[in-house]
Every structure is written in structure tokens, then in C-alpha cells.
């Protein structure tokens, strides 16, 4: 992958919008990706399995780097949180 030159990014920034909907559908030996914005405009493309895996890996990396993933802390079922009442034994 190559980095997009800044002048190309600047020229398209005015018309840019966030993707509102992503649709991925199986199409024979490939996958059809469709991105739509809030305006209804969008783009569709067909990519192979290894390409979609790469896209998803890159997306996961960006999401993790941005801190959008929240992984709940695991705790054993028997461990009580501080302040929780302990079962009474009679």
C-alpha cells in the first residue's frame, strides 16, 4: 500500500463524508463491499478473500490504536468485588 499524496487528500476533503453503512456479501469466489454515506452516495467493489482479510486486519489495528475496543476485565466467578456482600454461612 502506498500513502496518498497530501494534495489529493486536500482536493477530496470538501466532498468527504463518513461511511454510514458497510455491506459485505459473498459473490462467487470473492466478496462485494459496499460503503454508503449519510447522503446515500457510496462505492462498491469486489475483492478476493486474502484482500478482505488484509482490510479487516488493518481495520482492527486502527480500531485498537484508537482505543475503541473495550475489553472487560476477566474475573473468576467466585471472586467478589470490593464492597459486594459475601454469602452468609449459618
Interval 2-61: pLDDT, tens: 788 888 878 877 777 888 898 999 999 999 999 998 888 899 999 999 999 998 899 889
CA distance from start to end of the chain: 67
pTM, full prediction: 0.53
Range of the domain at 55: 17-66
Number of structural domains found in the chain: 1
Q: Is residue 83 included in any domain, yes or no?
A: no
User: Is residue 85 included in any domain, yes or no?
Assistant: no
Q: Which three cell numbers stand for residue 15?
A: 466532498
Classify strands 30-37 and 42-48 as parallel, antiparallel or unpaired: antiparallel
Q: Is 74 inside any structural domain?
A: no
Residue 3 lies in a domain: no
Under 8 Å between Cβ of 40 and 46:
no
pLDDT of residue 66: 86
Amino acid at each position: 500500500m502506498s500513502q496518498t499524496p497530501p494534495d489529493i487528500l486536500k482536493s477530496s476533503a470538501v466532498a468527504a463524508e463518513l461511511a454510514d453503512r458497510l455491506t459485505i456479501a459473498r459473490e462467487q469466489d470473492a466478496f462485494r463491499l459496499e460503503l454508503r454515506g449519510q447522503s446515500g452516495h457510496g462505492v462498491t467493489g469486489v475483492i478476493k478473500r486474502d484482500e478482505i482479510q488484509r482490510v479487516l486486519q488493518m481495520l482492527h489495528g486502527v480500531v485498537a490504536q484508537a482505543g475503541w475496543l473495550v475489553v472487560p476485565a476477566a474475573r473468576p466467578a467466585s471472586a467478589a468485588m470490593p464492597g459486594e456482600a459475601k454469602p452468609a454461612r449459618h
